[in-house]
Amino acid sequence: MTPSIASKRTVLIPLTLIVGLFLWFSAECQPQQNKPADTQNASRISGTLVAQNDAAPAAPAAAPAAAPAPGEQGTTISIQDLISRAEANETWAMMILANLYQSNTNAIKQNFGNALTWFQKAAAAGVNEAYLNIGDSYELGLGTAPDINKAVENFQLASEKGLAQADFKLATLYLNGIDLPQDPAKGLVYLDKAVKANFNAAIMLQGAILYSGLFGQARDLTKAKDFFQTAANQGNPVAMLRLGTMYNAGEGLEVNKAQALKWFLLAKEFGSNAQDLQTTIDGLRAPLTAEEITQVETEAKQFADKLRADAAAANEAAMAARQAAAAVGAESAGGAQ
């Protein structure tokens, strides 16, 4: 049983709560859109990808999934206990408390100023991810006046700590050039760094840039397809839509209606609600034989099953690593007392 936090109102919240989850790929591209993205549609929300319809905006950076302190499996702790543990410099408690203050839940009254304070304390205590939250707070004006320079400063600190999400944030800021001078060259350097770290949103954005020939990059559909393929292999439904579109229209590769159908089916399976997607799927099914359709559906199912199995294994390994880190941290804290 996962530990949980009980508020005074008896609201139970998982101890591993991550408020402000990074929202992947809620924006959708159109499955029938075959022309390059209109560069005039480039836009920015906090952490967005540069071109509309190429991926979704990123929400404020999430706290790392905190492991429970040793011996707490199956227990609950109160909000007051959580505050006490945060005040005792337990970093996992600092991050969860900060995210609770930033969220709108029944557990604790929303207070962006308190959230920022706890993120800053967590960063000072060595939680590198907290710099992302601090940067978002300054960028969006959460609990403080908006200050893009302080936002960039904190994103750069996170980047120096090796966080690919920070590289991606800096890339979108410099590529968009809103709130600070546009600097595509610097933005592309940060983007390349995030791509090399296998950050999915960065991979998708690099593909979109090459697909449309943006920021002085030559249009290269072959390379764009490779980036979309990599992103799709990691479960990105927007990349799946792009692959479907490219196979359907023969962009940079031979027309292959069966492959187009496969990728559109997968995009739908992984949450895409792109306009006219079902109509496109139905249209691609029509000329195929029953045997061909069965083959496509089988391949799509096998791909989806493997992707989910890989994700489950990765999540399990990550949780085990966080629990081990929490145990080590608790032992170190105990020895210091």
User: Does 111 fall in a domain?
Assistant: no
SS3 at position 122: helix
pLDDT of residue 324: 76
Could you give the CA distance from residue 130 to residue 100 in angstroms, rounded to a whole number?
14
Which stretch of DSSP H or E encloses residue 78? Answer: strand 76-78
List, for residues 168-194, the tens digit of each pLDDT value. 999 999 999 988 999 999 999 999 999
Domain span at residue 243 reads: 235-308
Measured distance CA(46)–CA(179) in Å, rounded: 11
The pLDDT of residue 323 is: 75
What is d(CA 11, CA 5) in angstroms, rounded to the nearest whole number? 8
pLDDT tens-digit series, residues 264-274 = 999 999 999 99
Residue 185 located in a structural domain: no
Contact 51, 65 (CB under 8 A): no
State how many domains the chain has. 1
pLDDT of residue 144: 97
- Look up residue 124 and give its two tokens: 């000072």
Dihedral angle of Cα 163, 65, 103, 166, to the nearest 10 degrees:
0
**Is 303 inside a domain boundary?**
yes
Q: How far apart are CA 207 and CA 227, in angstroms?
A: 5
**The pLDDT of residue 331:** 58
Is the pLDDT assigned to residue 9 strictly greater than 60? Answer: no
Tell me if 147 sits within 8 A of 140, measured CB to CB.
no
Question: How confident is residue 319, by pLDDT bands cut at 50, 70 and 90?
Answer: confident
What distance in Å separates the CA atoms of residue 27 and residue 60, rounded to the nearest whole number? 16
Phi, psi for residue 12 in degrees, rounded to 5: -100, 130
- pLDDT bin (cut points 50, 70, 90) of residue 32 is very low
Question: Where is average pLDDT lowest: 34-38, 124-128, 201-205?
Answer: 34-38
pLDDT band at 11; cut points 50, 70, 90: very low
Q: Is residue 253 part of a domain?
A: yes
Q: What is the pTM of this model?
A: 0.74
Residue 13 forms part of a structural domain: no
Q: What is the mean pLDDT of residues 241-256?
A: 96
Say which residues have a Cβ less than 8 Å from residue 123's Cβ, sequence separation at least 6.
130, 131, 134, 154, 157
pLDDT averaged over the chain? Answer: 80
d(CA 57, CA 175): 14
Q: Where are the alpha helices (DSSP H) in the chain?
A: 79-87, 91-102, 112-124, 130-140, 148-160, 164-176, 184-196, 200-212, 221-233, 237-249, 257-269, 277-285, 290-336
Quick one: which of 157, 161, 185, 190 has its CA closest to 47?
A: 190
Rounded CA Rg of the chain: 22
Q: Single out the residue of 1, 8, 52 nearest to residue 26, CA to CA.
A: 52
Q: Is residue 276 part of a domain?
A: yes
> Is 81 a member of any domain?
no
pLDDT in tens, 99-154: 999 998 888 999 999 999 999 999 999 999 999 999 999 999 999 999 999 999 99
Q: What 8-state DSSP symbol labels residue 142?
A: S
* Domain assignment of residue 206, yes or no: no
